[in-house]
Amino acid sequence: MKQTSINIRGLRKSFGKGADVKEVLKGIDLSIESGQIIGYIGPNGAGKSTTVKILCGILTSFDGDIEVMGIPLRNNAIEVKRKIGYVPENGALYEALTPVEYLHLVGTLFDMSPLLIEERTNSLLKYFEMSQHANQRMDTFSKGMKQKILIIAGLINNPDILFLDEPLSGLDANSVILVKDMLTRLAKQGKTIFYSSHLMDVVEKISDRIILIDNGQVIADGTFEELQQDSKASLEQVFAKLTGGEERVGESGILDEVFKN
């Protein structure tokens, strides 16, 4: 029987105070099963990163009820963090460290034994073709190399749920294939992948379920085929249709005006 890994009821989140208060999440209800790849998509500013940060226990003030792996998130963020991995959009690495040193630090925070940290570090560096850079300071790394280390750090504790916020940024085509393969394998092992990205072609291909949010609310939720509604539309076209992107294209006439001289 499938297990519910994430259960969200009536999630609301506001930023600011008084007259400047802005409600960013406006009542989100979701139930997510283990072993699925969830593509969480939406326009810029829709509330994707905010949702992920709440689910990972980083933003602790919110309204509503959330359970992660059966644990009520409120007041139990540390316990939840032990069971999840998080690959942030713009993660800060300690760049004066080498990958081996950094991953040792992260593994130690999870109370892992030095031997287990070393084994996982070596295997994951090998998978991401980074073994030859294991002892090189990360301030010499390219964006994509740093991104690979962030992904490895998100996996080091063997999490039940992996949250990824735009994980493919900076990765070359071969590395994108590696990450897609990795996510599919992890889901087959029963892990939940909760994945936010603007790369519609990737989301379309790898997601078991796609959740589209706009303006803090879920506006579509289903498999890619369900979202297509018997059309042959790509996910990019479905996205544009549901979020009003098609109409905005007309405003590109502004550019002709700006650059007419």
Ligand X SMILES: Nc1ncnc2c1ncn2[C@@H]1O[C@H](COP(=O)(O)OP(=O)(O)OP(=O)(O)O)[C@@H](O)[C@H]1O
Query: Which runs of consecutive H residues, i.e. helices, occur in 94-223?
Result: 99-109, 114-127, 143-155, 173-188, 200-206
**Cβ neighbour number for residue 95 with a 10 Å cutoff:** 14
Report the half-sphere exposure of 70 (CA within 13 A, side-chain side): 3
Q: How far is the CB of 47 from ligand X (least distance, A)?
A: 4
Nearest distance from C-beta of residue 12 to ligand X, angstroms? 13
Quote the tokens at residue 40: 């969480």
Measured between alpha carbons, how far is residue 221 from residues 23, 47, 178, 213 in Å?
21, 16, 27, 9
For residue 243, the minimal CB distance to ligand X (Å) is: 11
Q: Choose between 58 and 71: whose C-beta lies nearer to ligand X.
A: 58
User: Please, which residue, 88 or 107, has the CB nearer to ligand X?
Assistant: 88
Q: How far is the CB of 166 from ligand X (least distance, A)?
A: 7
Nearest to ligand X of 45, 72 (CB atom): 45
Nearer to ligand X, 24 or 93 (CB): 24
Binding-site ranges for ligand X (CB under 6 A): 15, 24, 42, 44-50
Rounded to the nearest 10 degrees, the angle between the axes of helix 143-155 and helix 114-127 is 140
